[in-house]
Structure 1
């Protein structure tokens, strides 16, 4: 019996958001393994549908209550509800990605028809992530999310740290451990050069990313390392980009820019041009940008808010404590290396991504877990059970 699965995610229209990349890629790789795979999303903007392999059937639903304050921010879609409810009896697995939006709870209705529910929290159960809009999340949890979680048969974590977050939230549901995958770009093309040595931080420009600390750390080193610059690239959320620009001005830092998001080949060029990639985040369940930077051959500095201890063991970066001083110390040490030493770090990081983070391996792990849910039998080694105590 071929497993038929649908992936549900609020939107894949924002290419700067991790799930916009990782969820379609997961669906495509599972289709290559012989599964019948669908992708169900809400059209949250005017952007055309993302190009996805023909083997994955894409359902892009119209939003409801568009333009209505508060309600529209929850991304409601009656079209998605009706479609999933009508077809629930023919779908074995409904895999939802994310929390706190209405498409993240629509799969509840499918459970009544026997569909097994899988949920990827996508880092949204971390302590720091829960602290943002805490009151709104408590209300949503009481009204919707709690019931959806109760019907979920399996949770998906991308790291050991995320399993700890799941258990700390009080969930006893079995968890399958599978990282996000990463595409390995061609290494033969020469990296673009700008005349500067570049430090890059790319992704959502949001307070949880700790970018104010990075700005302060680099500003303290700017005079010590002439010819270096810091580029912060990504979509500004809740006005954080403007606050960073204001901080740059207050510090008098002339070599820091806060820029709009980049996509596709332009984003890859930014990774490959950079001498160092930095993620000063407060909390991440995975951090797709770290994997992308390493795959592009760029050394990485990440705070311990992201689960990348392997940066140290694989000798391709630094995994540091939070704060301006640890950031400044890691930057100074890495900037002081020779170009050849940093290049060697990049080579090791790329090899690590190629070895352990292929999409085929990730898709196989999750597909095995789906099969276990549907057909029973012995659980795969990747599935972790809560301590019965």
Structure 2
């Protein structure tokens, strides 16, 4: 039962109504929606979306705003984010715990921990959600800067006495490796969306395949790898690409491959897609493809299966055993493996492909109805809050 003392102060760079940051925003929003009846969430975030400079329209700044799910959100303008502002918010209430999303954001990850250490306010327990940022593939992006930061943070004792959240056992091991063996780590898997309806898929004709990619266009999402694999497929393939362009040079490399495609491969670029339109987009395709170099969870993978669409993903995500359940394939990032997998699915006729549609829908429902992730989050917050009581 929620009490007046169960106040969780959350720091996150981008929150609702934003969506362009992808997984971290969705992970936090799903957590709040699932546990908002038991804990009072107060969220501090930017008043802009990821990679955007225009503030959200009709949303006041620098005050608590109540959203439809019941959480209170404080939207900070770009020029109003400072160490002093963050400290004032931290000292404005008797928080039960502070929940920090990620590690590398100066304003929303470092400042709360820095204030906690500098002011001696060590009695308020802090949870840091690693959000996949300590995986080798994630550290490999801007590696030198991240290694310097992690080393400095440990020398300064920034994470001393801080709790961590991992979403799977492998991430728990990464936290102990990169942060240290003494921090308590709670394993609380990401909470999937509860329901996602989609139209019937287009007819599946043997020798053709309609694929969809929904991910930001950046090296870690590996769109270029997918495009290069498509260059050598024998089937007729259409790929729809949705996502914000995070790395312009990387996108130029993608365009060079697209412009050289043979006649049997066609690509349509659609740009950013709003979450409400994802089921519609999935409904027009046979499969989701995501050759990611690493995923902490992969909400779009869960959403695809909830919509009854099988997935073709790399083996660098938590989604394993997909082929056994006929919900898709998780395969190594080797070009020939991907070419063969795409040609395999393209070679199925309508009846053969229905097996994979049913398998994906069943796997999606199992994930959606699994009470484990919500239970683990609840147990984490209750355990950490008990340190403050």
Q: 1:292 aligns with which of 298, 303, 321?
A: 303
- Give the conservation status (yes or no) of the 8 Å contact 2:154–2:179: no
Gap change, CA 1:92 and 1:364, over 3 Å in 2 = same
Q: 2:22 aligns with which of 17, 25, 36?
A: 17
Deviation of 1:309 after TM superposition, in Å, equals 0.8
Question: 2:7 — aligned with what?
Answer: 4
Is 1:141 matched with 2:150? Answer: yes
Q: 2:166 aligns with which of 143, 154, 157?
A: 157
CA distance in 1, matches of 2:381, 2:27: 18
- Give the conservation status (yes or no) of the 8 Å contact 2:186–2:380: yes
Gap change, CA 1:210 and 1:339, over 3 Å in 2 = same
- Give the conservation status (yes or no) of the 8 Å contact 1:119–1:152: no
- Give the conservation status (yes or no) of the 8 Å contact 1:299–1:316: yes
Question: 2:102 — aligned with what?
Answer: 98
Question: 2:360 — aligned with what?
Answer: 349
Gap change, CA 1:331 and 1:43, over 3 Å in 2 = same
Deviation of 1:169 after TM superposition, in Å, equals 2.0
Question: 2:255 — aligned with what?
Answer: 245
* Two-structure CA RMSD over aligned residues (Å): 2.9
- Secondary structure class of the residue paired with 2:78: coil
Is 1:317 matched with 2:328? Answer: yes
TM-score (norm 1): 0.83
Deviation of 1:277 after TM superposition, in Å, equals 0.9
Question: 2:285 — aligned with what?
Answer: 274
Gap change, CA 1:373 and 1:234, over 3 Å in 2 = same
- Secondary structure class of the residue paired with 1:105: helix
Gap change, CA 1:176 and 1:346, over 3 Å in 2 = farther
CA distance in 2, matches of 1:145, 1:15: 31
Of stretches 206-215 and 349-358 in structure 1, the one that deviates more from structure 2 is 349-358
- Which stretches in structure 2 are left out of the alignment for 5+ residues? 60-64
Is 1:62 matched with 2:77? Answer: yes
CA distance in 1, matches of 2:192, 2:287: 19
Deviation of 1:306 after TM superposition, in Å, equals 1.0
- Give the conservation status (yes or no) of the 8 Å contact 2:195–2:368: no
CA distance in 2, matches of 1:355, 1:260: 31
Aligned residues: 362
- Which stretches in structure 1 are left out of the alignment for 5+ residues? 66-75, 377-389
| Deviation by residue 1:258-300 (Cα, 9 ceiling, x = unmatched) | 3311113322211222211111011122112111111111101
TM-score (norm 2): 0.83
